[in-house]
Amino acid sequence: MSRQAGFSLIELMIAVAIIGIAAAVAIPNFTRMYIDYEARATASEITRHLVLVRTRAMTTNQTLNVQILLVNGVVQMTTTNLAGAPALQGVTTVNAGHMTPLVFNNGAIANGGVVQFNSYGIRTSVPGTGVQNITIGGTLGGVPTAQYRVNIAPSGTSGLVRV
């Protein structure tokens, strides 16, 4: 009779234990990496929207306001002219389920900051609500993850940096 080749139960249990330990170490890192990605994507989308509004203000020769809110895990950006009429169709939204509340001007402005661009593309200020920077970050189990800051220069240009 020939001897059958295969793995013993002990060898299989050792392999399963090694895979379980590797998964226990890797999954939290993948989760953190995804939340960091989500924070960067949210910050990038806000930056892109600000560039779009600035360009629209210059091409239409009018002053435009962008109100930025975080509502139930969704960043909402509403663009209006000085009369309050919509300047872009609809409300631009970005899903941001794992984000901490947006921080405007290092906490000086409550949720709902307004960025205003005049017809020259220069950032102007609505008294008490003029936003110069927005900090976006995620949280995992109550612990902050990567933080990104959208800076809006007086000239109107917007930039994104990791804090």
Domain ranges (residues) in the chain: 9-162
For residue 130, give the amino acid letter.
G
Q: Which of 18-22, 89-93, 111-115, 127-131 has the lowest mean pLDDT?
A: 127-131
162 exposure class (CB count in 10 Å sphere: 0-12, 13-18, 19+): exposed
**pLDDT reading at 146 higher than 90:** no
The mean pLDDT value for 57-73 works out to 89
3-state SS assignment for residue 81? strand
DSSP state of 46: H
First-to-last CA distance in the chain?
Answer: 69
- Residue 68: how many CB atoms within 10 A of its CB? 23
For residue 80, give the amino acid letter.
T
**pLDDT reading at 3 higher than 80:** no
- Residue 128: how many CB atoms within 10 A of its CB? 10
Higher-confidence position of 38 and 121: 121
The mean pLDDT value for 135-155 works out to 84
3-state SS assignment for residue 103? strand
CA 160 to CA 116: how far, in whole Å? 18
Give 5's pLDDT tier (boundaries 50, 70, 90). confident
Torsion of CA 75, 81, 85, 86, to 10 degrees: -40
Considering only the top CATH level, what class is 9-162?
Answer: alpha beta
